Chain A
Amino acid sequence: MIHETLQAIAGGMVEVVIDGILFGLQLSLLAVGLVLIFGLGGILNLAHGEFVIITGIISVVLISSGWNPFIAISAAIFLSGLLGLALDRTVLRPVYKLKGEMEVLVGLFVTLGLAFILEGITSYLFPGFYFSVRIPVETINIMGLSFRASALVSGLISFVSLYLLLIFLGRTMTGKAIRAALQNQTGSRVCGIDVERMRTLVFFLGGLMAGLASLAKGVASSVEPGSGLELTSYALIVGVVGGVRSVYGAMVAGVLLGVVNAIASYLLGTYLTLIILLGIVVVVILYKPSGLFAGGV
């Protein structure tokens, strides 16, 4: 009897942990865009969540205009990348002229202001909009354990996106050049790397990641206008835990927090879970404020 109960609990736990990982991957994907731009671009983009929302809105608009959903969403994600690029090339131009800390602080406020602008506009123009992708299958059974298909697909999208990003940053020349530009600007120039162009590319990538996060969220649940700042804050929290400049850290932190969230919810219920999650953040802030993986990409 005990043996069966334990088996049931174990089975339940495995499902819970995997659910946690899947959700965590979503969090990681959400955070990675923010961390990428901060770590490699030097700007804390508080408008990050807005990019996620805008991708969703564009997708819905295009699809309702008759576009093929696949193409529509791809276009929206690409547009999100372009938005990031535009941010770098326009609004942030005057910010780059400033030095060091002034640049970061003013950049922070400018992106915060931008977040407010976009949040207001999107809520005003598209009230009641939501972006959601429905998976035809309800549940999928693997090895006797059942999972929501939407969660699996979402997790898969997140995983593939993150994996491709890591490959790009680690294996391609351009990816290496981006990382180099973060580690040493002078050294990069001496190699012939155009540091400013790398930064623009990073913003494009960050926007792209936000777009992908929108897709992942749209599959798992939905993306709605007005939740931009909330999304940014989740990304920020995951980023803070993982190391605000570390792409790798954001990935690990997201999964970690996702798993903790899932296990704690399963065993202890929602409120205690919240306290535990926040507790982790507080502990990280107190003992290693630069994050668990402070060492850069």
Chain B
Amino acid sequence: MSLRSLYVPKPILIFFAVFAILPLISSNPYHVRIFTIVVLYASFVYAANIIIGESRQLFLCMSALAGISAYTSSILSLSFGINPWLTIPAGILFSAAVGALLSYVSIVRGLGEIFVAIVTLTFSLIFENVILGLRWLTMGETGLVTPVLWWPFQEIAGKRVASYYTILIFTLLVSILYANLVRSRLGIALRAIRSDRVSAEVVGIDVTRYNVIAASIGSGILALGGAFYGYFNGMVSPGVFSLSVDIAIILMLVLGGIRTLYGPLIGSVAIVFVLETTRGLGQLTLTFLGILLVVLILTFREGISSIIQRAAVKLSGQGQ
């Protein structure tokens, strides 16, 4: 697939153009932080879109996968004094390997979707406890202060804005990756598996291989995003990569529209907006998230994006 045949949908560019000018509209540091969170989470949701949406593997350990990368990169940098940009690949590799392993074991053991969910959930718990257990390495509950990452153009624009644009470009690339993945051989194979797994196998599609690849790619995205999150946040701790993150990602995925191109962006904007608005509630934020989850999963399973798309199709059909 050459660069020329790369599929870049125009709306995506528009979306990102809008995001790009946001810091110019409001340079309030708090707002820029929100923008960064939105864009970063969008990348997570794209990863979830691939793993949960396209390859139907219900990974409930996405925050753990992101965290593994963040911790690995930070610890390596701190222990050996290496520039974080050089240790990030190690983090990505580690997470991708873990994701691939989880996927592989699930398929080989013939685990149904619910067991994949249970196993990955358990893995999340294991991750959290390992972090707490290896206190001498990870600073346990208190968290680890991440080494300073140099963000491109941070001398000109300041760290906050520079990190925003870096992460924005990252997410842009991820969205393009997703758009092309869906059209690629992998994407088509995954769709075949989704619609009828037995037939797909009969036709010669290697379910294991494609699922593991999808899991690896998704994990890789989570890993890079996770690393960025850690460095941008200045600190990593079990609280930063907790189950709430997984819940938020899933909320964004469902609300925005599973298996859609714009869903992750829409979902991320919507959920972050909701979370920020309800911030003052303290403990009740959890309750609110819960209500959202129940309502969304029971009613809105298709998500806003696909509803809009269907409406658009209907309108254009009627127009003709």
Contacts and interface: CB of A to CB of B under 8 A. Distances in A.
Chains A and B touch each other in the complex, with CB atoms below 8 Å apart: yes
A185 B243 CA distance: 35
Say whether chain B's binding surface is mostly helix, strand, loop, or mixed: helix
Contacts of B113: 101, 104-105
Contacts of A109: 250, 293-294, 297
A282 B294 contact: no
A112 B293 contact: yes
A245 to B, nearest CB: 11
Contacts, number: 117
A116 B118 contact: no
Given A117-B290, A278-B126, A278-B130, A124 B118 contact: no
B298 A120 contact: no
Contacts of B106: 289
Contact of B290 (A120, A237, A286): A120
A28 B250 CA distance: 31
B133 A274 contact: yes
A169 interface: no
Given A237-B122, A275-B133, A117 B294 contact: yes
B7 interface: no
B176 interface: no
B288 interface: yes
A285 B125 CA distance: 13
A211 B294 CA distance: 24
A111 to B, nearest CB: 9
B58 interface: yes
A116 B250 CA distance: 14
A243 B36 CA distance: 42
A290 B129 CA distance: 22
Given A124-B283, A124-B284, A113 B297 contact: yes
B135 interface: yes
Given A101-B112, A106-B298, A275-B133, A116 B122 contact: no
B31 to A, nearest CB: 27
A285 B297 contact: no
B181 interface: no
A116 B247 contact: yes
Contacts of B58: 105
Interface string B93-130: 00000000000011001011111011101110110011
Interface in B260-296: 282-294
A285 B123 CA distance: 10
Pick from A106, A120, A274 the residue with the most CB of B within 10 Å: A120
Contacts of A282: 126
A233 interface: yes
B291 A123 contact: no
A274 B119 CA distance: 18
The interface size bin for chain A is 35 or more
A105 B313 CA distance: 30
Contact of B293 (A116, A127, A275): A116
Contacts of A229: 243
A119 B286 contact: yes
A70 interface: no
B121 A289 contact: no
Interface in B215-253: 243, 247, 250
A118 B284 CA distance: 9
B105 to A, nearest CB: 6
B116 to A, nearest CB: 9
A233 B114 contact: no
Contact of B122 (A114, A117, A240): A240
Contacts of A118: 287, 290
A91 interface: yes
Contact of A113 (B105, B119, B122, B290): B290
B291 A117 contact: yes
A96 to B, nearest CB: 12
A32 interface: no
A118 B301 CA distance: 23
Contacts of A281: 122, 126
Given A117-B291, A289-B105, A110 B129 contact: no
Q: Which 9 A-B pairs have the closest CB atoms?
A: A116-B290, A120-B287, A113-B293, A120-B286, A117-B290, A113-B294, A124-B283, A274-B133, A123-B283
Given A112-B290, A271-B135, A289-B106, 15 more contacts: A104-B113, A105-B58, A108-B117, A110-B294, A114-B290, A119-B290, A124-B284, A124-B287, A229-B243, A237-B125, A240-B118, A274-B129, A274-B130, A281-B126, A289-B115
Interface of B: 58, 105-106, 109, 111-115, 117-119, 121-123, 125-126, 129-130, 132-135, 243, 247, 250, 282-294, 297-298, 301
7 contacts: A44-B114, A106-B298, A109-B293, A114-B290, A120-B284, A236-B118, A240-B122
